[in-house]
Structures are given as C-alpha cells and as structure tokens.
C-alpha cells in the first residue's frame, strides 16, 4: 500500500479514537442509550435530507457544465464527480482542499480541461458565497435572540471576515494570471498522479479565463445555481432538526443555524481527515451552550456526523470503487 494512503488510514483511525474519547467525556453510556432510543423514522428522514442535498449539489455541477458544451453531462457523471471530490476532501488531513482537481478529472472528458476547471471554480464560488450569506444570517439571528458572550461574538465576526477574505482572494486569483498560474501548476501536479500529463499551459489559462468569465456573465444560470446552493444548505438545517427530533428534542432553527455555522468554521481548521474530533467536540459544546444536556448534545452531533460524514464517506468509496471496477 502506498505510504500516503497508509498515513491517511492511520490518521482516520486516530480520528475515530479521538471521537470515542470525546464520547467518553460526555458519558458514553448515556449517549449509547440515547441513540438506541432514537426514532428510526426521523433518522430515515434525516438520511433523505442528506441524499437530496447531495442530489442538488450534483445537479448544480451538471447545470453549470451543460451550459458550456453540447456534450451533456449525465446526472450520474456529475454525482460521481461531486462525491469523489467530497471523498478526497474528507480523506485529506490538515486541510480539506484536494477534491477540486478530482472533480475536474471526472468532468473534463466531455468539457475539456479549461471548461471543466471553470465549472468547478464557479461551483466553488457559489458554495463560498452561500456560506457567507448563511453565516451573516446566523450571526444576525443570534444577536437578535440570544445574549452572546463577547468572545463568541468576536469568533463569529472573525469567521465572517475570514470568509469575506476568501471570496476576495478567489476573485483575485481568477483575475490575476500569476496567481492563477500557481493554482494551475498545483492542479496539473495533482492530475499527473492520475496519469494525466497536460501540455499547453498558456493555452489552458486563456481558455479558463474565457470560460470562467462567460459563466459569470450568465445571470440566469447564476441565479439557478445559487438557489440550488441555498436549498442544499437549508436541507442541512432540516437534517439536523430531524436528528434531534429523532432523539426526542425540538431544537429551535436559529440554534441549528448557529451550530451549523460553527461546524463549518471548525471544518476550515487544519486537523485530521474530516476534522474528526474537532467538529464533534466543538458542535457538542455549542449545543451545550444553549442548554442541551451533555449526553443529548453529544448524541445529536454524533448521529448527525454519521449521516453527514460517514454515510457520505462510504457512499463516495462505493462510487469510486464502482468506477475503478468498470475501468479496463
């Protein structure tokens, strides 16, 4: 087995052990008892929300891609590209940013490398902007409904500032050939690991810029993909609501939005694959802050992570394995 893959597996196991340790701190027996008493119908509803969210995000990629070419991307192809990218993000330690080249790899056969890269760039932009808007909404709701401590307000404002910085950086990279060239070199180096050697560096940059700006000028397309992004995020909230409903508790939607924002901010921190341990501890602590019991807080975040992380992780492995078995 490749040493890098072995390292990822070791770090994944380390993350699982840390999660078990966190469960022990929050009372393992109470968490297990709470999970065993959960309502399976609402858990199924939470799974359906996650599946529908993945479907919307894959549809978004397909919609962007099919606006660029006559060779239409099928839903399965876009779903495979999205899920494969998410899987790589989940498996990459320290920073969850390795899935983009994989998405490009899966959709470039029909679009070509330049257009495929532009599609993934616009898809990422829609996700970043949607997250920024949701973060602002969560911060506004909390400031209006809860007396938050000053350190937490500073943390949230810092989070908003960081996301705003990334949005500005994103546009700067896409409009600056020197910065874009550095990103392209990185993408090419990742694609080489898949046995793909790319030539025509300047040609690629020129066509990427044209494709990217053409997509940004399509206002109707942008409206549709942002709507899909917002609905996908809304389904995340509904999934978390169903998770706690399954555990016998109704958590107000403004608290759910806040914890969702905290989890996404925590996911930006460098850590183990999937930020195992960081998100479980941070999410459970956030729920504790709003008066939920330790066992219920931990049970909710563990169950939600099983659906949003482990279920998607396993589904991604199945999709990737199926593709490999089909390859000659």
The domain locations on the chain are 39-326
Question: Quick check: pTM over 0.85?
Answer: no
- The rounded distance, in Å, linking the Cα atoms of 292 and 300 is 10
- Provide the residue-wise pLDDT of the chain in tens; the chain has 328 residues: 456 667 777 878 888 888 888 888 888 899 999 999 999 999 999 999 999 999 999 999 999 999 877 778 899 999 999 998 888 888 776 666 667 888 888 888 888 877 888 888 888 888 888 888 887 777 777 777 777 677 767 777 777 777 778 777 777 766 666 666 666 666 666 656 655 555 555 556 666 667 777 777 788 888 999 999 999 999 999 999 999 999 999 998 888 888 888 887 787 776 777 788 888 888 998 898 888 999 999 999 999 999 999 999 999 888 877 755 444 4
Q: What is the pLDDT of residue 286?
A: 87
Q: What is the pLDDT of residue 157?
A: 76
Quote the crossing angle between the two packed helices 219-246 and 253-267, to the nearest 10°.
110
Q: Tell me the CA end-to-end span of the chain in Å, nearest whole number.
A: 21
Q: What is the pLDDT of residue 40?
A: 95
Q: What is the pLDDT of residue 148?
A: 67
């Amino acid at each position: 087995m490749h040493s890098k893959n072995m390292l990822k597996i070791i770090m994944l196991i380390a993350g699982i052990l840390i999660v078990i340790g966190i469960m022990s701190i929050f009372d393992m027996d109470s968490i297990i008892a709470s999970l065993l008493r959960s309502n399976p119908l609402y858990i199924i509803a939470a799974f359906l929300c996650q599946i529908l969210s993945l479907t919307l995000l894959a549809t978004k990629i397909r919609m962007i891609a099919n606006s660029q070419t006559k060779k239409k991307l099928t839903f399965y192809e876009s779903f495979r590209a999205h899920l494969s990218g998410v899987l790589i993000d989940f498996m990459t330690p320290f920073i969850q940013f390795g899935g983009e080249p994989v998405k490009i790899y899966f959709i470039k056969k029909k679009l070509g490398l330049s257009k495929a890269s532009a599609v993934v760039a616009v898809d990422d932009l829609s996700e970043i902007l949607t997250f920024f808007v949701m973060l602002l909404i969560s911060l506004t709701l909390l400031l209006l409904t809860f007396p938050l401590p000053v350190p937490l307000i500073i943390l949230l404002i810092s989070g908003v500032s960081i996301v705003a910085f990334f949005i500005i950086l994103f546009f700067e990279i896409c409009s600056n050939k020197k910065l874009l060239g550095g990103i392209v070199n990185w993408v090419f180096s990742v694609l080489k690991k898949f046995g793909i050697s790319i030539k025509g560096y300047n040609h690629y940059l020129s066509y990427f810029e044209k494709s990217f700006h053409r997509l940004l000028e399509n206002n109707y397309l942008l409206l549709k993909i942002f709507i899909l992004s917002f609905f996908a995020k809304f389904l995340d909230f509904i999934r978390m609501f169903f998770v706690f409903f399954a555990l016998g508790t109704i958590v107000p939607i403004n608290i759910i939005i806040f914890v969702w924002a905290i989890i996404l901010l925590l996911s930006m921190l460098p850590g183990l694959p999937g930020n195992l341990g960081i998100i479980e501890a941070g999410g459970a602590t956030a729920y504790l802050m709003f008066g939920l019991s330790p066992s219920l807080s931990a049970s909710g975040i563990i169950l939600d992570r099983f659906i949003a992380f482990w279920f998607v992780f396993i589904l991604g492995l199945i999709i990737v394995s199926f593709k490999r078995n089909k390859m000659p």
